Each structure stands twice: as structure tokens, then as C-alpha cells.
Amino acid sequence: MNIVVCIKQVPDTTEIKLNPETGTMIREGVPSIMNPDDKGGLEMALELKDQYGAHITVITMGPAQADQILREAFAMGVDRAILLTDRKFAGADTLATSNALAGALKILDYDLIITGRQAIDGDTAQVGPQVAEHLDLPQVTYVENLQFKAPKTFTIKKATEEGYQTVEVDAPCVVTVLASANHPRYMSVSGIVTAYQREVEIWGFDNIKVDENKLGLKGSPTRVAKSFTKGGKMAGQLYEVDAKEAVGIIVNKLKDKFIV
Amino acid sequence: MDFTLTKEQTLFLQMIREFAEKEVKPLAAEVDEDERFPEETVRKMAKLGIMGIPFPTKYGGAGGDNILYSMAVEELSRMCGTTGVVVSAHTSLCVAPIYEHGTEDQKQKYLPKLCSGKWLGAFGLTEPNAGTDASAQQTTATLDGDEYVINGSKIFITNAFYADVYVVMAMTDKSLGTRGISAFIVEKGTPGFSFGKKEKKLGIRGSATCELIFENCRIPKENLLGKIGGGFGVAMKTLDGGRIGIAAQALGIAQGAMDETVKYVKERKQFGKPIGQFQNTQFQLADLSTKIEAARWLVRVAAFKKDRGIPYSVDAARAKLFASETSMEVTVKAVQFHGGYGYTREYPVERMMRDAKITEIYEGTSEVQRMVIGATLLK
Amino acid sequence: MDKSQYKDIYVFIEQREGIIQNVGLELLNKARELAETLEEKVCAMFLGHNIKSKAQELIAYGADTVLCADEPELAQYNTEPYTQAIVQIINEKNPSIVLIGATTIGRDLGPRISARVETGLTADCTGLAISEERDLMMTRPAFGGNLMATILCKEHRPQMSTVRPGVMLKGEKEDNRKGNIEEIGVKFDTSKFKVKILENVKEAKNMIDITEAKILVSGGRGVGSTEGFQKLQELADEIGAEVSSSRAMVDAGIIPHDRQVGQTGKTVRPDVYFAFGISGAIQHLAGMEESDFIIAVNKDKTAPIFQNADLGIVGDVNQIIPLLTEKLRNEVRK
């Protein structure tokens, strides 16, 4: 089985802090991580490899620093890693991103393409289904569990608002995976030791056969017209007191609100 | 000279910190409280290759080095001193001597199982009457046909009972003094080999510390490790390496106590402000963090030299001496910073203080380290 | 492109087992407002099987036209048949705007359609308005703490957007509103139907709807563990609240997804929202900032949650939660 996992490097948005005086974001020291849903997808691929044997390729589109998550993927047990990077890809919205990724995927062999449901920096959940459409493959989103049935069928549990669905689809297909689907393995020590001795293939515009007008900013139907700091709610009162006093303040507030 | 971490080291720290945070920290208080050996953690570490970090892949090791190994022990000990010493005793005191002194057959037989963590290792040198003076060994090994017959006992053995393989020192010829000591590999389950009482300890209470008892225990003569009469040398070299591990353990405990203290002084308020705002607090923490950083680089220098085959015995002694005494100082002050809370088991610093104490004692007391360093100076 | 060829606002009406989901009605109301600015019409795209009888309801909630695709292939949501039906409508009718609810269904369907018709799609919008150039201004939270971005799709039609349930408000039902119901016959390419649904399971635990709760006690990383959430549940029981959480706890498998508040979870507007040990990443804020009264407890005074709280307490949630439970218990006894 050939599996391609699309992963993305994202800032760890749970680590973001605001300056309490100005309300502006403190950018310093926000670490870059492998997107959690993508890591869940990678673990799903590695479990398939453990059970049935598989060749796993990871691919990421991003700047040169994204190399780091590919090394991490090597150390977790993938076989091949591709960094899709080119100035022509810069400024891409989801559609242009999916065009570039699909262009690269067309060159690869796959029975299963896995992406995370969504990336925590944008939360759009669009690139997976858009890639599936460009490749004319069926998609299953919000995947919690996936079982393989020889010769080429996947039985998949996907989350819905009310519970879950079980669906069946034949390879090749695209699935988008939830971080809660599994507990991703740690990198192994021997994988770490060799991670930087292995080759990360660098692919650019010249490697993929995609019309330049469908890539990057040029290929993006959506544009950010403006961005602004959300005034939001004005911060209310902030108390730094001991626990007992804090509880008193909360209970009094609840009484004011007639909750108690 | 370069003091920056390599990419591999950075990636390794990312992994081991996440592992320590998610898998080791949640159990630290429990294994201490219940004096329980963290078997499940050992299994998890085995899967990742943490039980064979500095050994070549051809023997089932991870192909890493002693810097990575010291980082692992440091980061594990930062959360749990017990877990740190389980790895250190296994790696430095059992796998390392077999790798460094074993025959090819012995390596093939033992290293893959030990490095993969399928088997756990331990080391037996100390006896009731042979502590700091390790030459006063009373355990004997007598050749009888194709077998050695071992009689005697070893005490305070880390990982005992849970370990599958033991590197054990015994007198093969009492008349030769230290040159009459030889090293042997003894497997758990060998008839005549049993375990005595489990010690109740002040700290590292999750680690298993037992007596090893040998009563006409017969092992094949191929299990002689190194040359006949070479055991004292094997033991001393093994302890040199072990000191890197214990120094890293001490360092980790100190760093853990420092982390807890920094967090606490930011939150704890007295006289209307966080106690971290007081200059006394900041000055003390500044001194302690400087010592911790100095200890860290002493550990790394010793590991660096060992990896490159440069004599490192005195470096390891300095690292262990300084790191363990720093660890004791930091943890005692950490408890003080926490005040009454620090004295309770609500906070981890009292455990860290109890764990730190052993690092000044085992694998050569601070006094032994001073002897080693002093002797080198006056040579 | 000649944008004058494209007009009217099309809303995808999600139904499950014939029950029209609120999010579609919320979008109809928003579409009405946009249509009045544009002086265009609102069309509801109503897909399913044996649903015709319910089409009138959509007119009552603001649709001028209901395009009803009533086909056995559409009885249950499945990506491909639904995509084919909507794409056929888009290609035949040339809408200017297409709005879809950002449910698991909408978020599966939206991007598939956008890629097939090659247009832009803006996910999880919290604001929709019309610009002076008559383009749709789609505002959504973007990465970067409290950053919002307004996004335009100027050179492609339709302009597509998904909006999360609960973000827009449903309008009043007007039973005597007039409108057309038009039946659409879908020309399916069944050779592309590849995903077979074997079973559809509703789980009882998922029946609690945190969006309906008057009081929510929500926990994040600071609460941290299953035990921590048990303590939170005790507090919730004391004041008749429901327990909810941030994304981190859902990813960690501690709390089921249906209790997640935030951009990728649910949007809630309770009377009182407690945020315990939640730092307040923008994704979380997007899901709860409309709450009437927000009480935040966090160790870290730089946590963004405090910028959005009416009452902030810098402190240890693990101490405060049990104390609060106890105090409330005593208050009730009095």
C-alpha cells in the first residue's frame, strides 16, 4: 500500500499570549509544531504500515523551515519526505494551495491520501476536500478510525454532529483525520539520530505540472482585504487575590446575576 | 568549539521532553508514594529506544551517543528521579560494561535484548563490608569444570529483581587483592541466585533496591566479563561512565526543582506582591540557575569526551560532584521558597529534595569524587 | 469576468432525516439582509428525498425561491451526489453568493463544490456584509491572537462562504410570505458515487446540546485531566450548568467533541460562561464571546481570555473549583 500524508507546520496557537496592558499578541517564543490533526493522520498511516506494511510519503508545502516537521516525520517512521516550496506558491489561499498539492500528488503513487481535518492556524478544513476534487478521488472527512480490508477497501468511522457514520470506500481515496482519532507515537531515538542523514526532496514549480495562474497569490480567488484587531469585549475587572477571596467575588457576582 | 545544540539534539530534546511531560510526570508522585517500580514507563521507553541510546544499531542500540543519553537522563529526572536512575543504572552499569568489555559472543547474546529494553540490566559491586572501599570484596567465584560457582551477597543494587541481567564482581583469587577480582554476567533465574529484602529508602522510592544473594550459584565460564582478575578495572571504568548518568540525574532533579520554584514565586503572593518580585528571591534564583547551567556543561563535557575516546574519568567525577551537590542545594532551597507548602506532598519539591540526596552517595560518594579529582591533581 | 451575469444569494438548506437544521434558517435571515442591500433575491437550495412538503417553511423564513431537489440519491447526505446537485444549480443559475452552514456536512461539501466550480470559499465567517463595489465582505477570525480578517472574492463567482451554526440569528417565521417553489431534476453521474454509507449512528451522549445551556462551565488545559473535569462536573451540577471545554481537551480525548466550544466546535451564548484554565485562543473566543457574562479563571495573567472576560481571576483553577463548589453548596443550603 502506498500512502501519502499531507502535513503542515503551524504556530502553536494554544501558546499565544496577549500583553495584558495593550491587548496585543506576544509573537515571541511561539513554537512551530506539526499540525495536530495532521499528526493524527500520520499516526493513522503508521498504524496501517505496522499492520499491513506500507510505504509512507509525507509532503508539506511551506517555507524552508518546514523541513523540521519532515525530519520529525522521518523519526516517527515514514519512508519518504517531500518539501514543496517555491516563491510562486507564496500567498496561496486554500484553492491555490490545493492546486499545488494536487499537482505534486499526481506525480506520486498512492492508494490512500491522508490529510488532517484542518490546520489550527486557519481552521478552514478545505484543502483536503479540494485536493480530492482536483484528483477526482472520493473523500471521507472527520475520520476517527480506518480499517483496511484486502484487496483495496477501507471501512471508515467518521464523526458527525449526532454521533458517527460507518462508510466504505475503495482505494484510491482521500481521508481527513481528527487529532482525537489516536495518540500519535513519539519519535524513536534511532529515527532521530538518522533523521538529518536522510534526504528531504525539495520540489518547486518546475517539478509539478500546474498552470502558474492557478498557484500562489495569482491563483487565489480570495484575498484578505483588511485585517484588524478585534476590539472584542472590553476586558472587565481582573482580580489577583487568594482562592478564598476569589470564590467570594465569583459568588457575589452570581448573586447579582440571580444565578444563585 | 561549539556550544550550540545540533539539529538531532534539538529534535531529541523535543521528543524526550514531551515524553517526560506526558508519560513520566503524571506517575512521579505515585511511584514515590507507593514505592512502586514504574514498569509501564520502562516498556514505553523500550519501544522508543531509550534503553539503548549510546550503543550501535548493529547491537540493537539507537546509534546515539552519551550526550543524548545524558540529555535523556536529565529530562526524565527533571520529572521523576526514579525513572532517571532506572535508565542510568541499566545503561551505564550493565549495558555499557558488556559493550565495552564483552566478547563478540557475549555482545551478540546480551546487547540486542538489553538495548531494546526487552531485558533490564543491573550491576553488583557493593557489599556490606565493601562500599567506598570496593576492593574489600567477599563474594567469591570458583572455577569448577566449565562453570564458576558464586557465593556471597551484594547490597543496595538498583533495578534488582526487575533486572534480567546482572554484571557482578567476585573474588576469583583472594590472594591477589584487587587483581583477584573478576566480573561476571549473571542472569536472573539462575539456580542459587536470589533476592534479599527490598530497601525502604528516603528518596528515589520507586526504584527497586535489593540485596542479591548467591548460594552455590553456577554460571557457565563463558560468562566471565573481561579478563580473569580484570574485574576491578571493569568496575572502575563502569563507574566512570555511570557518574555521567548520575550527574545527569542530579542535574535533572535540580532543574525540575528550579522549574517548580520559578513557577511558584510568580504565583505566590506575600505582602501584596508575588514573592518573585523580591530581590532576595531573584538573587538566590540567579545563583542557583548559574550553578545548574555550570553543572549541565560539566556533564556534557564528560559525555563529549567519552564519545570521542578522550580520557574522561576526572571530568565525570567533577560533573558528578558538582551536579549532585548543586542538586542538593537547589532542592533544599526550593523547599524553603515554597515555605510550608514545600514541606507537604501537595508540591513535588519535597520529593525532589529526598531524591537529590542519593546522588551525593551512590556510584561514588562526594568524598570518593574528591579523592579521584585530588589524586589526579597531585599525580 | 462579467459579474453582472451573476446574481442572487443561494443558501444551502441542511436537513437531516427531513428535519431542517437551524443553521439554514439563520443563513436565510442573513441572506435576506444582504439581498435587500443588493436588491436581489434569496434562493434556498433544498436537497433531500420526500421533502417537498417542507419547502414552504423556507419561504416563511425568508426565501424568495426554493429550489427543491427531491431525489432518492439525496435522501442522506453524501459528498458526491450533493456536490453534483449543487454544482448543477450553480452552473444553471449563476448565483452571485452561495452560503453554507459550517457543520460537518457543510464543511465536507463547501470545499468540494468550490474546487469543482473553481471559486473561492471563506470558512467560518462571523460577519457578512456588502461592499460599495457590491462584493461580499466576509469577515472571519484569522490566526494571530485577536486578529480578524475581511476577505473578498472579487474576480470569481459565486462568492462562497460557510458560517457556523449559532453565529447568525434566525428570523421571525412569517407564514404568509410569498415565494416560488421550483423543482430541480438532477442529472447524476452515478459512476462517481464511490462512498457507501453502511450505518449512521446517533449516540446518546451526543444529545446534550451545550448551545442550549444557560450556564456553561468550560475547562481547558489548566483543568487538564479527567479528574479535573470530574470536579468541574460537580460544580456544574451545583448550579445546573453543562460542562464544555476547549479544543485541547477534545484532542487529548478527555472530553467528547460535542462539548467543544470554539471555531471548530460549537458557538454558544449562555447567560454565564465560566472559562477555567482556558487561555483563550482566538478559536475558542470565536465560539463564546457572545456570552452575556464571562468569568475567567487562569493562572497566567497574560492569557487572552482576560481581554474578553467580564470578571477575571488570576489563580489556580484546581484550588478555586472545589472551593467554589463547596461555597455554592452552602449558599444553596442557606
Who wins on pLDDT, B38 or C240? B38
Helix (H) or strand (E) holding B95: none
Alpha-carbon Rg for chain B, nearest whole angstrom, is: 21
C182 and C223 in a single domain? The answer is no
Res. C145: pLDDT tops 50: no
Residue C26 belongs to domain with CATH number: 3.40.50.620
User: Which residue stretches of A77-219 are H helix?
Assistant: 94-107, 127-134, 189-195
Residues of C in contact with A122 (CB under 8 A): 123, 142-143
Contact B57/A at CB under 8 A: yes
In sequence order, which ranges of A159-223 are alpha helices (DSSP H)?
189-195
- Name the residue among A103, A113, A158, A163 with its Cα closest to residue A138: A113
What confidence tens digit (pLDDT) does each residue in A194-219 have? 999 999 999 999 999 899 999 999 99
Q: What distance in Å separates the CA atoms of residue B284 and residue B273, rounded to the nearest whole number?
A: 18
Give which of C140, C149, C178, C90 is closest to C286, Cα–Cα: C140
A72 interaction partners in chain B (CB closer than 8 Å) = 11, 14
Task: Decide if pLDDT at C106 tops 50.
Answer: yes
C204: in domain: no
In a domain, C254, yes or no: yes
Whether residues C60 and C175 share a domain: the answer is yes
User: Could you give the CA distance from residue B152 to residue B137 in angstroms, rounded to a whole number?
Assistant: 9
Q: By the CB < 8 Å criterion, does C19 face chain A? A: no
Give C63→chain A minimum CA distance, Å: 26
* C332 shares contact with chain A (CB less than 8 Å): yes
For residues C193-209, average pLDDT: 82
A chain contacts of residue B56, beta-carbon cutoff 8 Å: none
Q: Does A189 touch chain B (CB under 8 A)?
A: yes
In a domain, residue C272? The reply is yes
Do C128 and C229 share a domain, yes or no? no
CB pair distance less than 8 Å for B62 and A189:
yes
Q: Which residues of C touch A167 (CB under 8 A)?
A: 195-198
Given the C-alpha cell 549510546, which residue does it identify? B54
pLDDT, mean of residues B115-139: 93
**Does residue C290 share a domain with residue C180?**
no
Could you tell me if A146 and A39 are in contact, meaning their C-beta atoms sit under 8 angstroms apart?
Answer: no
Angle between helices A127-134 and A94-107 (to 10 degrees): 50
Paired residues of A60 in beta bridges: A83
pLDDT at residue C144, rounded to an integer: 44
- Report H helices in A29-136: 36-52, 67-76, 94-107, 127-134
With cut-offs at 50, 70 and 90, classify the pLDDT of residue B132. confident
Is the minimum CB–CB distance between B43 and chain A shorter than 8 Å? no
Domain-embedded: residue C150: yes
Q: Which domain holds residue C35?
A: 3-192
Q: What is the pLDDT of residue A233?
A: 55
Contact residues, chain A, for C247 at CB < 8 Å: 14, 120
Mark yes or no for CB contact A190/B269 under 8 Å.
no
pLDDT at C223 over 50: yes
Whether residues C297 and C178 fall in one domain:
no
Q: Are residues C23 and C160 in the same domain?
A: yes
Question: How many Cβ atoms are within 10 Å of A22's Cβ, its own excluded?
Answer: 10
Q: Are B207 and B158 in contact (CB under 8 A)?
A: yes
Residue C203 lies in a domain: no
A–C interface: beta-carbon pairs under 8 A: 291
Rounded alpha-carbon distances, angstroms, from residue A204 to A62, A73, A104 = 11, 20, 9
Residue-wise over A190-205: b if at least 16 C-beta within 10 A, else e?
bbbbbbeeeebeebeb
Rg of chain C, C-alpha, whole Å:
22
CA dist B49 and B53 (Å) reads 6
Regarding whether C228 and C167 lie in a shared domain, the answer is no
For residue C326, the one-letter residue type is: E
Tell whether C209 is covered by a domain.
no
Residue B376 confidence (pLDDT) above 90: yes
- Least confident range from A21-35, B262-276, B363-377, C311-325: namely A21-35
Nearest to C328 among A23, A141, A251 (CB): A251
**Are both C163 and C267 inside the same structural domain?**
no
Do residue C59 and residue C162 come from a single domain?
yes
Tell me, yes or no, if C136 comes closer than 8 A to chain A by beta carbon. Answer: no
In which order are the strands placed within the sheet that holds A223-229?
A: A223-229, C147-152, C136-141, C127-130
Query: What is the nearest CA distance from B277 to chain A, expressed in angstroms?
Result: 15
The ipTM (two decimal places) reads: 0.93
**Would the CB atoms of A189 and B8 count as touching at under 8 Å?**
no
Where residue C242 sits, what CATH number does that domain have?
3.40.50.1220
Q: Assess whether C186 and C227 both reside in one domain.
A: no
Q: C157, C192, C227: which is the final residue of a domain? A: C192
> What's the structural domain count of chain C?
2
The reported pLDDT for the residue numbered C252 is: 84
The catalytic residue positions of B are 363
CA distances from C229 to B203, C296, C311, C326 (A): 32, 16, 22, 16
pLDDT computed for residue C209 by the predictor: 78
pLDDT at A73: 98
Stretch C190-207: mean pLDDT, rounded? 86
> Using the 8-state DSSP alphabet, how is residue B192 labeled?
T
pLDDT at C329: 86
Residues C8 and C139 placed together within one structural domain of the fold:
yes
- pLDDT per residue as tens, chain A (260 positions): 999 999 999 988 766 665 655 555 666 777 899 999 999 999 999 999 999 999 999 999 999 999 999 999 999 999 999 999 999 999 999 999 999 999 999 999 999 999 999 988 878 899 999 999 999 999 999 999 999 998 999 999 999 988 899 999 999 999 999 998 999 999 999 999 999 999 999 999 999 989 999 999 999 999 988 877 665 555 678 888 888 888 988 988 888 777 66
Q: A161 or B198: whose pLDDT is higher?
A: B198
Q: Positive or negative, the Cα torsion across B2, B8, B10, B16?
A: negative
Both C137 and C172 in a single domain?
A: yes
**Is A129 within 8 Å of C195 when comparing Cβ atoms?**
no
C277 is a domain residue: yes
How do residues B158-174 score in pLDDT, each as one tens digit? 999 999 999 999 999 99
User: Per the domain annotation, does C128 fall within a domain?
Assistant: yes
Asked if B11 and A192 come within 8 Å (Cβ–Cβ), the reply is: yes
Nearest by CB to residue A228, choosing from C115, C148, C156, is: C148
Q: How far is C8 from chain A (nearest CA, A)?
A: 19
